[in-house]
Structure 1
């Protein structure tokens, strides 16, 4: 049986020692499945915390890590109708989330958590778990769409669609925030970005950010952000990736009837000083947890990416499959800007 190289998370370990690089058989294709030769993958914060035992959603060990991948179809099962050999595809994060709101069964279908992911040379996926890749993007760029991009798209379009002229707040320079900035600018929105360095601030401005606030030198950046909005009314959408470390400031700048999309907890998980449920009443806003998005939303997003020729922000350092552990360590040290990619084939 032909073999391939893959990574596997064998168990929880604080130093990524549970990540093992190994030989494995190339998986066989079932009647409703597609065999993909994976060309590229990209990492998310979620990939880093699964081996550390910090991930709050279902996962099991051993598991091939990574949710975000892109490649080429090399074989299809007898009942596959959506794809053919040679098609360029990208993976869907929650394989069972096809359309509408996510439900409990769909949360049990996360790639790289419950189902074997993309850090391998070949992968078999149900045809429902793939989408046609964006025609204007390279394999590395397409590999960044599954989680960060779709999460951002859901935050801006999943509950109440973003309108031109509205104001979006993005935090930092990670993948979710960079996609939100790009999608917002493509929609004609105003973007306020926060960052920790002047160097990153310049990059954010080049990407189209209308205002950039250094949260290290301006610890009360929430009020500053509010002052930058029309009539000081506040931001319509906040892409909240910091959690307890930033949520209090986010509440200070959210507009009445605005939406705070809670996506991460990069600022830690300690609740001291964190807003309470009653703050949603005094601020008259919606606080919404976002768990990526459906296949239908991903198709919409890819059409927008093609129509506006949006190209993901990818860190200049690209790792090989063999260097995946180094990529984990690089991202954990927060050395990346935008998405961190791994070239596979």
Structure 2
């Protein structure tokens, strides 16, 4: 079967189209014929061994997110059957409860082999069945970006009708966060460097938008949107080093900073005083568990929520797809067709 794998040494230049023997499902396992995959920021980081030892060992099949059809099951499998359309979960060993080192070490696409293979064998505990209304392309986008946003907005953020949220950017997680926040009746402000993308998020339901290139102090500019409570209830913090100091000014007393991305850097220079004095909750978010995934799917089906899709590339064009993703400018999830 075809696979894309990082082989020989780390680095994007060592990501190669290759072949492996077709896997066979053992007891408790399901064999999935993959149909579509979707890219995330980590898919640019893993080939460069950006997570150190936690990235895994070579050869490694990259990419965590995809959708496929169950074509064979092993002995004792009851959660899925042949013909079911499923997504593998991002964390294979995290079905529910609190995170643990063992659960965090079970991510697809590094350290475990990912979905860039024609056939993918996985534990029945590591898949979810999908609502019929979603297309394959839409379903492929869900395991990492969508569940991360759901965890930030719903599982940890506990968003309620009337809450004020700020979402940074218009990437995959940001667009899902906007959709889930609106689903729960929240007022949402989105910041971006692109007026064109801000026009698009307004069409998707954003209540307020700010171009942070034209208005660098977006914390001050956003004050009229939250004047009744002294700041945002939850800020979906995707920027990192450059955005956190402004987020600390924009969050309300007792509010939450949902730390997800570090797009502008890892090392921050910010006063810790506001966190303590205003009792701000700094909540790290790393995707989520299978229970959360299934709750998210139920809510999406109820509201017929559809992901925002970008360009689709052929299987053999994984490297051009990654370069397209790296250069930015796209809107919606970048997809790989099998």
Q: 1:341 aligns with which of 327, 335, 338?
A: 335
Report the CA distance between 1:225 and its aligned residue.
Answer: 1.9
Q: What's 1:51 paired with? A: 47
Report the CA distance between 1:230 and its aligned residue.
Answer: 4.3
The one-character-per-residue Cα deviations of 1:266-319 (angstroms, maximum 9, x if unpaired) are 112243xx224443113321011111101000000000110000000111x211
1:319 aligns with 2:313: yes
Q: What's 1:81 paired with? A: 78
Q: What CA RMSD, in Å, does the superposition of the two structures yield over aligned residues?
A: 1.3
Rounded Cα–Cα distance in structure 1 between residues aligned with 2:239 and 2:157 = 22
Is the contact between residue 9 and residue 20 of structure 1 (CA under 8 Å) also seen in structure 2? Answer: yes
Q: What's 2:188 paired with? A: 191
The one-character-per-residue Cα deviations of 1:220-274 (angstroms, maximum 9, x if unpaired) are 0012123212425211111111100211111111111111111111112243xx2
Alignment of 1:216-235 (within 5 A): 216-231=213-228, 233-235=230-232
Is the contact between residue 152 and residue 236 of structure 2 (CA under 8 Å) also seen in structure 1? Answer: yes
Q: Structure 2 stretches of 5 or more lacking a match?
A: none
Alignment of 1:105-184 (within 5 A): 105-184=102-181
Rounded Cα–Cα distance in structure 1 between residues aligned with 2:223 and 2:110 = 38
Is the contact between residue 93 and residue 106 of structure 2 (CA under 8 Å) also seen in structure 1? Answer: yes
Is the contact between residue 173 and residue 200 of structure 1 (CA under 8 Å) also seen in structure 2? Answer: yes
Q: 1:29 aligns with which of 7, 20, 25?
A: 25
1:332 aligns with 2:316: no
Is the contact between residue 34 and residue 126 of structure 1 (CA under 8 Å) also seen in structure 2? Answer: yes
Report the CA distance between 1:144 and its aligned residue.
Answer: 0.6
SS at match of 2:133: coil
Rounded Cα–Cα distance in structure 2 between residues aligned with 1:179 and 1:43 = 14
Is the contact between residue 58 and residue 107 of structure 1 (CA under 8 Å) also seen in structure 2? Answer: no
Q: Structure 1 stretches of 5 or more lacking a match?
A: none
Rounded Cα–Cα distance in structure 2 between residues aligned with 1:122 and 1:142 = 17
Query: TM-score, normalising length from structure 1?
Result: 0.94
Rounded Cα–Cα distance in structure 2 between residues aligned with 1:74 and 1:139 = 16
SS at match of 1:12: coil
Query: TM-score, normalising length from structure 2?
Result: 0.96
Rounded Cα–Cα distance in structure 2 between residues aligned with 1:75 and 1:64 = 21
SS at match of 1:191: strand
Q: What's 1:68 paired with? A: 65
Question: Where do 4+ consecutive residues of structure 1 move more than 4 Å?
Answer: none
SS at match of 2:198: helix
Report the CA distance between 1:54 and its aligned residue.
Answer: 2.0
Q: What's 2:14 paired with? A: 18
Q: What's 2:302 paired with? A: 307
Q: How many residues align?
A: 336
Is the contact between residue 71 and residue 89 of structure 1 (CA under 8 Å) also seen in structure 2? Answer: yes
Q: What's 2:236 paired with? A: 239
Report the CA distance between 1:56 and its aligned residue.
Answer: 6.3
SS at match of 2:79: coil
The one-character-per-residue Cα deviations of 1:78-98 (angstroms, maximum 9, x if unpaired) are 111100000010111010111
